Structure 1
Amino acid sequence: MSIDGTAALFLMLGQAAEKSLTSVDDVVPAESLFLSVSYDLAPLVPDMVRRSTEAAEAYRLFFVFENYLRDLIVDVLAKDGQENWWDKVPTDIQFEVTKLEETEEMKAWMALGSRDKSALMTLPQLLKVIEQNWKGAFDEIVRDKSLVHEARLIGHLRNTICHMSTISSEELDRIRQTMRDWFRIVAP
């Protein structure tokens, strides 16, 4: 075997060993999770830190997607600042968001800062706003109402991640595909 072949075999064996070791619950993961400059949770609860890293990608995807939908809704319904977008939100959602605003006022001691009403809307509420304003607002931008249905289907995965559970790689692929469909059509 050549030197290159030996080096390649050595690297493959090392990668296989690393993969085997990182799957053991008690082995401290490579990534740290600090509570303070000197207090790392990884040695204390290695499996949970490992799982949090796995869940982080799905969370990040939903973070981008939901905020994209918020911006899209406000931009489309406000018609370049000419109209009040909030007036076009269904009244049941307006009521729920108003209640959340009141709760946030009571929690003013938290450093949340000022948040727009759209920031208090959930994924299902955002999708409902799009559906309620489909004709004449979103039909020409989104063009395919099945995208709303796809986004609604991954809502359960969003809730799973946001309630501190992990999802399988197959479900992560489903999230990616749905978001690819949206961004391919809406933001090419």
Structure 2
Amino acid sequence: MINKQVMKLLREKTGVTDQRIYQIIDEKKNAHHYSITKETAAYLIAAENGIDISKILKEDELIRVREVATGQPVINRQRNTIQRDSSKQILVEIGKDIKVTDPLLPKKIVEDAKRMAEVYAVVYVFENSVRNLISKVLETRGTDWWETNVGGKIKNKVKERIEKEQRNAWHGKRGAHPIFYADIDDLSSIIAANWADFRDIFPDQPWVSGKIAEIEMSRNVIAHNNPLEEHDINRLKINFGDWIRQISLWSDQQLAEKAESDTQE
């Protein structure tokens, strides 16, 4: 039987029903090819959601969770018995509100998480900068620009994602406009397909596709919760800086033209 306190904390953390929690537990078991019990699956999920299971579970339960999480047995070499080494637990601090002593994470993962937090912000701003630029430029074609200026393959993929999201009403939505459901490489395709509208903003088309492709590589690594090497982080920041400078130049020109037009009126 799953520990009642763990279940209670899972309900509070996730905000979903017991039925949904058991579905998630079954998904976790499936991910491990049903080689783990529902109890172990539940405790893994609890730890992943920031619940300090080390203060709730028995020693043998914690050992099993750590073994599944790391793929290795936990061994006390002095006693030649398997047990949890509490002296090596890692304190995870996320923002101001979350402080958890996690028995599963090696120290490097926590350090990488803190380092990647800054990098994620760069990727987040870049990707949404591309989306907003496309929207602003193509809106000059009319309010229905998504239907008239975006290819069918992209629109169909986005439509499927929106429909799937609507079926999962318990979760927040990505955004109000379909462009927020498009992949980053889709954004590059939209610009290429409407190059006449973007040619005055960028040096040339390969420059745009190249910047997006390079940033996408780093973005995909981060999206799967993996750290970037330092040289990749530096390249990401350089590409991001180039992008911002380029669109800022165009934006300044737009503002200057508008100001001149207003003066003439």
Partner of 1:139: 199
Compute the RMSD of aligned alpha carbons: 2.5
Query: Computing the radius of gyration over CA atoms, which structure comes out larger, 1 or 2?
Result: 2
Partner of 1:109: 170
CA distance in 2, matches of 1:102, 1:77: 24
Q: Deviations along 1:133-180, whole A, 9 cap, x unmatched?
A: 112x00012233213212212312110000000011100111111111
Partner of 2:179: 118
Change (3 A) 1:114 1:159: closer
CA distance in 2, matches of 1:32, 1:112: 27
Partner letter of residue 144 of structure 1?
D
Name the SS for the 1:108 alignment partner. coil
Q: Quick one: higher RCO (CA 8 Å, sep 6+), 1 or 2?
A: 1
* Structure 1 runs of 4+ with >4 Å offset: 26-29, 36-39, 41-44
- The answer to whether structure 1 residue 156 and structure 2 residue 217 are counterparts is yes
Normalising by structure 2, report the TM-score: 0.54
Change (3 A) 1:57 1:38: closer
- The answer to whether structure 1 residue 55 and structure 2 residue 116 are counterparts is yes
Q: Flag structure 1 segments of 5+ consecutive residues without an equivalent.
A: 1-25
CA distance in 1, matches of 2:151, 2:98: 49
CA distance in 2, matches of 1:114, 1:156: 23
Change (3 A) 1:75 1:56: same
Cα displacement (A) at 1:28: 4.9
Q: Flag structure 2 segments of 5+ consecutive residues without an equivalent.
A: 1-87, 250-265
Name the SS for the 1:187 alignment partner. helix
Normalising by structure 1, report the TM-score: 0.75
Percent identical pairs in the alignment equals 25
Partner letter of residue 167 of structure 2?
M
**How many residue pairs align between the two structures?**
159
